[in-house]
Amino acid sequence: MRSAFGAALCALAALSIAACSSSSELPPGKLACPTTFIAPGLDSYTEFRPGVTPSATNTNDIIFGVKLATVAPQCKAESQGVSVTTVVTFVAVRNDQDLRQGDFTYFVAVADAQQNIVAKQNFALRVDFAPRQKEMRLVDQITEHLPVKNLSLGNQYAIIVGLQVSKQQLDINRSRE
């Protein structure tokens, strides 16, 4: 499990809806989880063969790809707010039997009620393929801490997950939609 955003989210103390609390009692209100979703257009990463002009339609040009399959949040109350553990599932595929490893980066961001990104962190993952393995599923788990004074304000935030892609890859992803 990875724990992220601890210090960055304390910066939320300046916001009127959140603050770091020193109380050992649970915050008042009914627990409300933030909305969690995959960023539109940032659900796929594609690595093309060297020297090939990337194309969204020619799968022979692709040597490695990753699809962000699911994000599933689990919330629990803490003495200083809400803890959100997001389970992120990826499917990695290789199209080149000589490729043994594939690397990719994804991000988890926290947005406030005004849709401002208040924290973002990147995570690098490596896929190690067995000799005859073409596809594999990977699961990573990230924990965010939202320092809300009132547990019912957890839904004032959103957890956004996406793959770090280039502008060219983003254009290809959008053309596939």
For residue range 116-134, list pLDDT tens digits in order: 999 999 999 999 999 999 9
**Secondary structure of residue 5 in the 3-state scheme:** coil
As a whole number of angstroms, the distance between CA 19 and CA 140 comes to: 28
Evaluate if pTM is beyond 0.95. no
Instruction: Report pLDDT digits (tens) over 62-113.
Output: 899 999 999 999 999 998 899 999 999 999 999 988 999 999 999 999 999 9
The residue that leads in pLDDT, 158 or 60, is: 158
Question: What digits encode the pLDDT tens for the residues 93-106?
Answer: 999 889 999 999 99
CA max distance for the chain: 60
For position 55, what pLDDT does the model report? 65
**Long-range CB contact pairs, 45-54, < 8 A, 24+:** 45/104, 45/163, 45/164, 45/165, 45/169, 46/169, 46/172, 47/102, 49/96, 54/168, 54/169, 54/172
